[in-house]
């Protein structure tokens, strides 16, 4: 996941508010919510609480959830439920299909 904010001053302000945002990301697949697991190769929130602009996330799907994700036209919703940023969006079919290839 990449946080892209063009304005440097705004980006600095927002990243200070988004510490640990990576632990608030979910995917909803076939009415089941799967919590993202941030990669632990390095801390993505610094000591000041500033989030990194780049986060690496895994979604530990069950076999059934993976099959549901791969189904053409499946309704997949990405969610972020951070105290300073909450948003949900349905993945477009082209994005779902491209990501489904990684589940082979």
Report whether pLDDT(43) > 90: no
Binned at pLDDT 50, 70 and 90, residue 46 comes out as confident
Q: CB-based contacts of 6: which residues, under 8 Å, 6+ apart?
A: none
For the chain, domain boundaries: 8-103
Helix 93-100 to helix 63-70 angle (10° resolution) is 130
Tens digit of each residue's pLDDT (9 = 90 or more) over 65-92: 999 999 999 999 999 999 999 999 999 9
pLDDT at 49: 86
Q: What is the pLDDT of residue 71?
A: 96
- E strands, 1-104, in order: 25-29, 32-35, 37-38, 57-58, 76-82, 85-90
Q: What pTM, to 2 d.p., does this model score?
A: 0.89
């Amino acid at each position: 996941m990449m946080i892209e904010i063009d304005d440097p001053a705004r980006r600095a302000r927002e990243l200070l508010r988004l510490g640990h945002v990576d632990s608030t990301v979910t995917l909803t697949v076939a009415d089941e919510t799967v919590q993202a697991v941030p990669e632990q190769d390095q801390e993505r929130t610094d000591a000041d609480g500033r989030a990194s602009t780049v986060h690496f996330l895994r979604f530990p799907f069950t076999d059934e959830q993976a099959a549901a994700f791969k189904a053409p036209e499946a309704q997949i919703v990405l969610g972020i439920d951070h105290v300073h940023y909450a948003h949900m969006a349905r993945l477009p079919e082209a994005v779902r299909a491209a990501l489904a290839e990684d589940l082979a």
